[in-house]
Amino acid sequence: MTMTNDDIISPSRSRNEQPKRRRAAGRGPVIDQEGREIPDPSLRSQFEGFQFDFAHSSANPFGDLTREQRLARLDALAKLLDVAFIVPGTKFRYGIDGLIGLIPVVGDIITTAISLWVVREARALGAPWHITARMLGNVAVDGVVGLVPVAGDAFDVMFRANVRNVRMLKRWLDKQPRL
C-alpha cells in the first residue's frame, strides 16, 4: 500500500472527510486543521447593510460643491502655490511652490502632485481634452525644469504654472453657455 500526497500532508483524515472546525483560543475566527479561516455566516448578516457613502456625506468637504465654489477653491490654491507672498521692498511675488521646491526631488514631486490635482479638478469641471492637455504640459514643464537644482527653483517662481492653468480654465468656462 502506497501513501498519497494527501496522506503525507494530513495523515489524520481521509480524502472524503470534511476538515474539522476548531475555534482559535479565545475569541476569533473559526480555523480548520490546515489553518485556513472559515467565514462565519452569522457575522455576514450583521454587516450587509453597512456601507460608506462619501459622495453625499456632510463630513465630505468636497462632496456637493457648485461650479463657482470649485473655481474659487482652485483659484485660491493656485494663488497660494504661485503668488501668495511678496519679497519685502519689491513687487516680486512667490508662493509655496517655490519654497517647497527648494527641497531636492521630494519638494518637486509634492508640488507636481498638487498641480496635477488642479488638472484633475479641471477635468471634473468638464474641461475638454485640449485644455487639460495644455494644463498637463504646463505641469510637466514646471515639474521637469523644477528638478534642476538652483535654476529650476528660479524657473518655478517665474513660470507660475498653476495660475496659468486656472486662468486657462476660467477662460474656457467663460465661453461655455450656462445651463
**Same domain for 103 and 46:** no
- Half-sphere exposure (Cβ direction) of 5: Cα atoms closer than 13 Å: 0
What pLDDT does 64 receive? 74
What pLDDT does 67 receive? 87
| Domain-embedded: residue 115 | yes
**Same domain for 43 and 104:** no
Which domain range does residue 123 map to? 67-175
Quick check: helix, strand or coil at residue 10?
Answer: coil
**Same domain for 74 and 45:** no
Which residue, among 151, 158, 116, has the nearest Cα to 137 in the 3D structure?
A: 116
What pLDDT does 24 receive? 46
53 within 8 A of 47, measured Cβ to Cβ: no
pTM of the model: 0.65
| Domain-embedded: residue 73 | yes
| Domain-embedded: residue 61 | no
Tens digit of pLDDT for each residue in 137-163? 999 999 999 999 889 989 989 999 999
CA 102 to chain centre: 23
**Same domain for 152 and 88:** yes
**Same domain for 160 and 72:** yes
Q: Comparing 167 with 53, which gets the higher pLDDT?
A: 167
**Same domain for 90 and 30:** no
Please give the Cα distance from 42 to 98 (Å, whole number): 56
Torsion of CA 110, 115, 119, 120, to 10 degrees: 30
**pLDDT confidence bin for 32, thresholds 50/70/90:** confident
- The count of domains in the chain is 2
| Domain-embedded: residue 86 | yes
Share of the chain above pLDDT 90, in %: 53
**Same domain for 72 and 44:** no
